[in-house]
């Protein structure tokens, strides 16, 4: 272990980029985003075909930093798409990767990131972890039912930042996270509003697959009858409708952009449509916060907002006006993914938390 704490290599594979970072204990040493153009990725029919391309890009960056794997205590990847599991820090395993490769739980570029972390860790005799993956599921039974037995409400959300924000909020309040009841809203490209009860997220909307408030690029909950008619209209393919639900819905569908700064400037310049759509999105978030307070039976010690949109005074001011009567209101702006991954690994390396087996 070097001075300043364990040295960690962090990777976060997104659809068109790979974020890489080196941490020394709590301190960020260096971080960079490796962007992958459509031309770079055009030759790969699946995310798994990108393995060598992504891995080589990571190794080239690592070599340019003149880093030595022998100095590292762990490699940490953002979590992929696995079976529903409790939140926590997990050792990446062959079974986890087998489920990821099967595709039965979905596919995401982070699946490839976990494989790269596992292979690099195995080759260099370094532990490989993933932290609070998006499939983390701690919902109470009542929260999982829908009106049809063929469908279940799934816990699919920004668990990494939700959990990290919960710990930060607990520190701010001076109470242990596993004794706290709070509502946290993550506001990024997708939105998740979660009820945290004593260390577990007992209810949360599926922010990826069309549930809850609409967001900059996702549709949220739609009127079921209208959605059925759209699906059978013959005007769209299945993939086109899926793209509407996740990627081309929400603010971008209404206003042609996901850029909150640009939208707020339009509002300031008198664009009434932009104001109506933006406020409607925030109104739905506020309603979801109120619903999450019901899940906690009103025992809400605090409300927190996080994610990229939490940098906006317009956003946080609107939400505090509508929900501040429920509980004290706190702001933790940013996605904080790389920091959250590092903190999870550090808890295990310091013996504060036992890593879980998948």
pLDDT in tens, 84-97: 999 999 999 999 99
Angle in degrees, 0-180, between the axes of helices 51-64 and 109-124, rounded to the nearest 10: 60
Query: Matching CATH topology for 7-138+338-349 and 159-334?
Result: yes
3-state helix, strand, coil in the chain (%, to 5): 45, 20, 35
Percent of the chain past pLDDT 90, that is, above it, reads 94
pLDDT in tens, 138-178: 999 999 999 999 999 999 999 999 999 999 999 999 999 99
Identify the band that residue 3 occupies on the pLDDT scale cut at 50, 70 and 90.
low
The pair of three-digit structure tokens given for residue 20, joined into one six-digit string: 């890489």
Partner residues linked to 90 by β-bridges: 130, 356
In the chain, where are the structural domains located?
Answer: 7-138+338-349, 159-334
pLDDT at 236: 97
CA–CA gap between residue 356 and residue 79 (Å, rounded): 13
The pair of three-digit structure tokens given for residue 242, joined into one six-digit string: 């899926």
Q: Which residues have CB under 8 Å from 119's CB, separation 6+? A: 55
Print burial letters for 80-119: b (CB count within 10 Å at least 16), e (below 16).
Answer: bbbebbebbbbbbeeebbebbeeeebebbbbbbbbbbbbb
CATH of domain 159-334: 3.30.420.40
CA–CA gap between residue 80 and residue 9 (Å, rounded): 17
Helix, coil or strand: residue 354: coil
pLDDT in tens, 121-137: 999 999 999 999 999 99
pLDDT in tens, 99-124: 999 988 888 899 999 999 999 999 99
Partner residues linked to 218 by β-bridges: 246
Average pLDDT over residues 302-307: 98
CA–CA gap between residue 188 and residue 250 (Å, rounded): 12
Mean pLDDT over the full length of the chain? 96
Average pLDDT over residues 243-260: 95
CATH of domain 7-138+338-349: 3.30.420.40
Q: Which residues have CB under 8 Å from 280's CB, separation 6+? A: 214
Average pLDDT over residues 257-269: 97
């Amino acid at each position: 272990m070097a001075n300043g704490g364990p040295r960690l290599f962090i990777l976060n594979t997104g659809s068109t980029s790979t974020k890489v970072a080196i941490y020394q204990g709590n301190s960020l040493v260096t971080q960079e985003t490796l962007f992958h153009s459509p031309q770079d990725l055009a030759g790969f029919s699946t995310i798994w075909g990108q393995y060598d391309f992504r891995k080589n890009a990571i190794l080239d960056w690592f070599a340019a930093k003149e880093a030595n794997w022998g100095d590292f205590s762990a490699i940490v990847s953002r979590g992929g798409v696995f079976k529903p599991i409790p939140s926590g820090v997990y050792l990446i395993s062959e079974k986890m990767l087998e489920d990821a490769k099967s595709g039965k739980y979905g596919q995401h570029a982070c699946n490839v990131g976990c494989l790269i972390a596992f292979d690099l860790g195995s080759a260099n005799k370094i532990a490989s972890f993933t932290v609070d993956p998006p499939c983390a599921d701690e919902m109470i039974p009542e929260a999982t039912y829908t009106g049809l037995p063929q469908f279940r409400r799934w816990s699919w959300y920004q668990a990494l930042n939700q959990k990290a924000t919960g710990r930060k909020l607990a520190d701010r309040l001076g109470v242990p996270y596993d004794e706290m009841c709070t509502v946290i809203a993550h506001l990024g490209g997708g939105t998740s509003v979660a009820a945290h009860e004593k260390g577990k997220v007992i209810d949360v909307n599926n922010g990826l697959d069309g549930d809850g408030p609409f967001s900059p690029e996702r549709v949220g909950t739609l009127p079921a009858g209208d959605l059925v008619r759209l699906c059978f209209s013959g005007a769209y393919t299945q993939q086109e409708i899926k793209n509407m639900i996740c990627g081309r819905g929400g603010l971008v569908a209404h206003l042609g952009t996901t850029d909150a700064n640009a939208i707020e400037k339009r509002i300031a310049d008198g664009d009434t449509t932009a104001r109506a759509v933006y406020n409607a999105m925030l109104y739905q978030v506020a309603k979801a916060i109120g619903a999450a307070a019901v899940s906690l039976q009103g025992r809400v010690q605090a409300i927190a907002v996080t994610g990229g949109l939490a940098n906006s005074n317009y956003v946080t001011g609107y939400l505090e006006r509508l929900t501040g009567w429920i509980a004290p209101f706190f702001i933790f702006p940013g996605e904080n993914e790389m920091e959250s991954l590092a903190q999870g690994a550090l808890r295990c390396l310091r013996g504060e938390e036992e890593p879980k087996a998948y």
